[in-house]
Structure 1
């Protein structure tokens, strides 16, 4: 169940970063991003290993990025096909979607 997943972590490395979930077995689900200036990020890639499949891990990663972007007044460009699909499903995220 999604509520059994660990907390989403953020690794910020200057112009790039990633959101990740670490499993007890060492598996990592991640979503990488690139900063574009001060007010935009591009979600580049989402990868969810088999250990996390069916638990909502990918959605949790994108949701955290949306929450962080909203809090910081940033826009998101979802180049990653998974993230892009999630934005199409979640119209409530339109305020952070770069048009």
Structure 2
């Protein structure tokens, strides 16, 4: 169980493999920003904090890439509101 978040630009999503499941955040590119539109965590992984670890990894990758995030996903918006360390990444 590696739980490393990776960017899969061919699929327009960030992915985190957990056991035999895949948690994902879908996005679209708008200029230099990524619009985070939807998060999916498989039901089998629900309640284990997978979504929060996925969110942290996504924002870490966005920071490392020098991009910004436009958060349209309600889950990620709520997560970001509880993590002021990512405020500088969120635009729009």
Does the pair score TM above 0.5? Answer: yes
Shift of 1:63: 1.2
- 2:23 is equivalent to residue 35 of structure 1: no
> Which residue number corresponds to residue 77 of structure 1?
70
Root-mean-square deviation over aligned CA pairs: 1.7
> Which residue number corresponds to residue 87 of structure 1?
80
Q: TM-score, normalised by structure 1?
A: 0.80
Structure 1 unaligned regions, length at least 5: none
For 2:75 and 2:22, the matched residues in 1 are separated by: 17
Change (3 A) 1:17 1:82: same
The structure 1 segments of at least 4 consecutive aligned residues displaced by more than 4 Å after TM superposition are: none
Structure 2 unaligned regions, length at least 5: none
Shift of 1:67: 1.0
> Which residue number corresponds to residue 20 of structure 1?
15
Q: Secondary structure at the residue paired with 1:32? A: strand
When structure 1 is superposed on structure 2, of 49-58 and 74-83 the one drifting more is: 49-58
